[in-house]
């Protein structure tokens, strides 16, 4: 019998979540908590030259309620839908997911938060013959951890004219995640970009930057345990829209070459990546 994506218990969980979204704005006024609805959309498509010239796409939509809690910052309660695709048909990237989640932000000036997500998902399409799917069509997962983000754009901060040209910008993202389905693994990723604005024509900008990626996991899976660094170029066709096209030239090294699975690659490698990212939010 094929397992259904939403069984009775999950339907009840979703119903409770909807009731919470509807009631929270009505009951919080008396205890000093402000709330508002919010939504966000993010997508990225990346061409990995080293991994058989593969193209991987990931996109998610998120809708929920943001609660402003005195002396704590904010609590987001949300629903999330995620879609992933992989040109090489690696099953772990080809999937759709529905999530119920919450994230608690600790500070107002920097983004540092704890999050929890309950996931119901389905693998999509037919897996490649090189990597058959051992799990079946449907899956359930629990994911939680910490996320951090910091960014600065001096040109935007000083309204362009005071710092342009060669204005400085930087972006840092880091997380530490627990994934129940992945053998109770704990994975951490850090991505740092720092660069300068080379030119701006009306609202189209061109940047050059240094970039580094660092990953490590408890189970020593070689594809997570690596460090990469290099140089990149990106353009934003419309500065006020968070849409970026970039190309990066990287040197990489596996940190632990032999973990749970045998690593078929050399310890040191080079890569070229081309990516397209987009983010848009409402109610922030």
Length of the chain equals: 284
* pLDDT in the model for residue 33: 64
The Cα–Cα gap between 212 and 235 comes to 19
Q: What are the pLDDT digits (tens) for 42-57?
A: 999 999 999 899 999 9
Per-chain mean pLDDT for the chain: 86
* pLDDT in the model for residue 9: 46
Provide the whole-model pTM.
Answer: 0.83
129 confidence band (pLDDT: 50, 70, 90): confident
Q: What are the pLDDT digits (tens) for 182-208?
A: 788 999 999 999 999 998 888 899 999
The Cα–Cα gap between 60 and 274 comes to 20
Q: What are the pLDDT digits (tens) for 61-102?
A: 999 999 887 777 889 999 999 999 999 999 999 999 999 999
Going by DSSP bridges, is the β-strand pair 185-201/73-86 parallel, antiparallel, or unpaired?
unpaired
Ramachandran area for residue 164 (φ above 0: left; ψ -120 to 50: alpha; else beta) = beta
CB contact at 8 A, 215 and 229: no
* pLDDT in the model for residue 12: 47
* pLDDT in the model for residue 203: 85
SS3 of residue 241 by DSSP: coil
Q: What are the pLDDT digits (tens) for 231-283?
A: 999 999 998 889 999 999 999 999 976 777 888 889 999 999 999 999 999 98
Q: What are the pLDDT digits (tens) for 168-181?
A: 999 999 999 999 88
Domain extents in the chain: 8-282
Q: To which residue do tokens 């910490």 refer?
A: 146
- Right CATH for 8-282 from 2.115.10, 2.40.160, 2.30.30, 2.50.20: 2.40.160
The Cα–Cα gap between 24 and 11 comes to 20
* pLDDT in the model for residue 20: 54
């Amino acid at each position: 019998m094929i397992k259904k994506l939403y069984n009775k218990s999950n339907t009840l969980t979703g119903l409770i979540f909807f009731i919470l979204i509807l009631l929270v704005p009505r009951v919080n006024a008396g205890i000093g908590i402000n709330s508002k609805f919010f939504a966000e959309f993010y997508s990225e498509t990346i061409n990995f030259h080293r991994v058989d010239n593969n193209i991987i796409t990931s996109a998610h939509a998120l809708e929920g309620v943001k609660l402003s809690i005195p002396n704590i910052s904010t609590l987001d309660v949300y629903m999330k839908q995620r879609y992933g695709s992989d040109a090489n048909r690696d099953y772990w990237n080809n999937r759709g997911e529905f999530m119920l989640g919450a994230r608690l932000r600790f500070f107002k000036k920097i983004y540092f938060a704890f999050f929890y997500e309950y996931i119901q998902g389905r693998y999509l399409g037919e897996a490649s013959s090189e990597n058959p799917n051992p799990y079946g069509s449907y899956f359930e997962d629990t994911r939680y951890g910490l996320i951090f983000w910091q960014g600065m754009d001096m040109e935007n901060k000083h309204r362009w004219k005071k710092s342009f040209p060669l204005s400085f910008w930087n972006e840092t993202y880091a997380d530490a995640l627990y994934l129940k389905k992945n053998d109770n693994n704990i994975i951490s990723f850090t991505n740092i970009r720092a660069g300068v604005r080379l030119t701006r024509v009306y609202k189209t900008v061109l940047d050059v930057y240094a970039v580094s990626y660092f990953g490590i996991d408890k189970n020593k899976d070689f594809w997570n345990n690596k460090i990469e660094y290099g140089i990149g170029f990106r353009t934003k066709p419309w500065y006020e829209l968070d849409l970026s096209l970039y190309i990066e030239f990287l040197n990489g090294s596996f940190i632990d070459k032999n973990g749970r699975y045998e690593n078929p690659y050399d310890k040191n490698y080079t890569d070229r990546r081309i990516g397209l990212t987009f983010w848009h939010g409402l109610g922030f």
